[in-house]
């Protein structure tokens, strides 16, 4: 199990600076850019996590990776993490920052499953409805699920809104099974 205390502390520190400077989204994009660069280099994580590699060597590699590609404050933040010998938490810190930035920006993630990709108009309308219902900005993602017959299934956190044809047929079956069919001339 990963200790979340260290990543949370660093993420909160960067978040405080980002809020102060009005740069929540900018820093999130910069950290995401670094994450892609970091994961794009084979064996880099192993190199950074290796305690036998000297910090100066890790700094040189990090400098070569991000030189001129990131906001100077984000670069300094990454070097601070390295100076404090917490480089094995790079990815976890980024993950925690994203969570805190979403909370601060009043943003939630939602996933909509459908048989076919939603049209832009339907996508926008659904996002607006979900935003109105939750009182938050919704970052919506459309996932194609060919196991559905039709309709959509929306997941927001632990909440699932099932508007699929399968669910509606199941409800109809249950209602018919519970109804008194004798009154209309049908014998069970």
pTM comes to: 0.74
> What is the reported pLDDT for 106?
92
> What is the reported pLDDT for 167?
81
What pLDDT, in 10s, does the model give residues 125-149?
A: 999 999 999 899 999 999 999 888 8
Q: What is the pLDDT along the chain (188 residues), one digit of tens a residue?
A: 457 899 999 999 999 999 999 999 999 999 999 999 999 988 999 999 999 999 999 999 999 999 999 999 999 999 999 999 999 999 999 999 999 999 999 999 999 999 999 899 999 999 999 999 989 999 999 999 988 888 889 999 888 888 888 787 787 888 877 766 555 555 55
- Catalogue the long-range contacts made by 10-13 (C-beta closer than 8 Å, 24 or more residues apart): 10/77, 10/81, 10/86, 10/89, 10/93, 10/96, 11/93, 11/94, 11/96, 11/97, 11/99, 11/100, 12/96, 12/100
Instruction: Check residue 162 and give left, alpha or beta (phi > 0: left; psi -120 to 50: alpha).
Output: beta
The first and second tokens of residue 19, run together, are: 């809020």
- Domains by residue range for the chain, with CATH: 5-103 (1.10.520.20), 107-165 (no CATH)
């Amino acid at each position: 199990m990963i200790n979340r205390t260290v990543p949370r502390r660093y993420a909160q520190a960067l978040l405080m600076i980002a809020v102060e400077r009005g740069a929540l989204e900018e820093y999130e994009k910069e950290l995401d850019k670094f994450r892609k660069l970091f994961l794009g280099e084979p064996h880099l994580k192993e190199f950074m996590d290796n305690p036998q590699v000297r910090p100066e060597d890790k700094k040189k590699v990090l400098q070569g990776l991000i030189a001129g590609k990131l906001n100077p404050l984000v670069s300094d933040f990454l070097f601070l993490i390295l100076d404090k010998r917490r480089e094995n938490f790079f990815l976890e810190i980024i993950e925690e920052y994203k969570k805190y930035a979403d909370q601060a920006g009043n943003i939630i993630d939602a996933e909509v499953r459908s048989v076919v990709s939603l049209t832009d108009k339907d996508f926008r309308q659904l996002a607006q409805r979900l935003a109105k219902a939750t009182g938050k900005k919704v970052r919506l993602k459309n996932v194609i699920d060919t196991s559905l017959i039709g309709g959509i299934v929306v997941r927001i956190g632990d909440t699932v809104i099932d508007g699929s044809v399968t669910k509606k047929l199941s409800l109809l079956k249950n209602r018919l099974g519970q109804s008194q069919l004798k009154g209309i001339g049908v014998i069970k």
